[in-house]
Amino acid sequence: MKRGKNSKLYLYHKKVAWLYWLKKRAEEIRDALGMPIDKEIKEPVIMFNAVGLQTRMSCEGHLDHGLPAPWIDVEAPNRPRFEYKKEREVFRNLARKYKVSMREVRYVLKPEVFDEVMKECKRSGETEEYKKWKKENKKLLKKAKKLLDEFYKNRKVDPDSKLEFQIFSDFSFRIHNGGKYYKKAERKGVDKLSEKDKKILAKKIEDFRKEMKAFAEFLKHKYFSDNFKLPQIKV
């Protein structure tokens, strides 16, 4: 039996070790408010990262705030701090003017003034670093679409439970379900949904979570398959 670095046994143990590290990290992650990853979305977050879909934010879905279905945001690592060529210069000048840090500039400007500042920055064009980062997002999106297509190849589910993509302007993306209820809540807030919708969602939200977990289980089988290679992820 082969026991070298290319043997199946060696690669299996390497995958186990990487997955263990991801699970340990998931237990330690906290958001800006000090809250851990939601319990019902933790396993999907771990498996997204295991297959190379690096996550940024997530939620298990809630009926009293946020959105009434689970979602996970994915983007390439090492997002550049500045998008536009003159952004650093403009923010540095404003920071000096208001005697604050560059990160605090947006908080001392009125929203309409900040929007004008960003328009000025945008006219200078995107930095090369930001362009490269967006290309990496496109690669991740292509990979995620391929995985989701395979997952649904012979799978029939309720349209509201089916996972779908929400693609942002920088080609980072969100995988979520919830169908029309997700879209309604995103548009006007989950607290503004009709009582009828809320009653339906109280029954459906567990199905939404189960579908996300089913996709995570699919990713797990994919991850441990012989032909799956560990992605090169910078952490």
pLDDT at 207: 98
Please indicate whether residue 44 or residue 30 has the higher confidence score (pLDDT). Answer: 44
| Rounded Cα–Cα distance for residues 136 and 97 (Å) | 36
Nearest to 171 by CA among 119, 133, 215: 133
Question: The tokens 């607290």 sit on which residue?
Answer: 191
pTM above 0.85, yes or no: yes
CA triplet 210, 211, 217: central angle to 5 degrees? Answer: 85
Question: The tokens 């991740």 sit on which residue?
Answer: 140
pLDDT at 4: 58
| Rounded Cα–Cα distance for residues 151 and 36 (Å) | 28
| Rounded Cα–Cα distance for residues 223 and 48 (Å) | 10
Convert the pLDDT of each residue in 64-119 to its tens digit: 999 999 999 999 999 999 999 999 999 999 999 999 999 899 889 999 999 999 99
Reported as a pLDDT band with limits 50, 70 and 90, residue 194 is: very high
Convert the pLDDT of each residue in 121-158 to its tens digit: 999 999 999 999 999 999 999 999 999 999 999 999 99
- Residue percentage of the chain with pLDDT more than 70: 96
pLDDT at 14: 92
- Residue percentage of the chain with pLDDT more than 90: 88
| Rounded Cα–Cα distance for residues 144 and 218 (Å) | 13
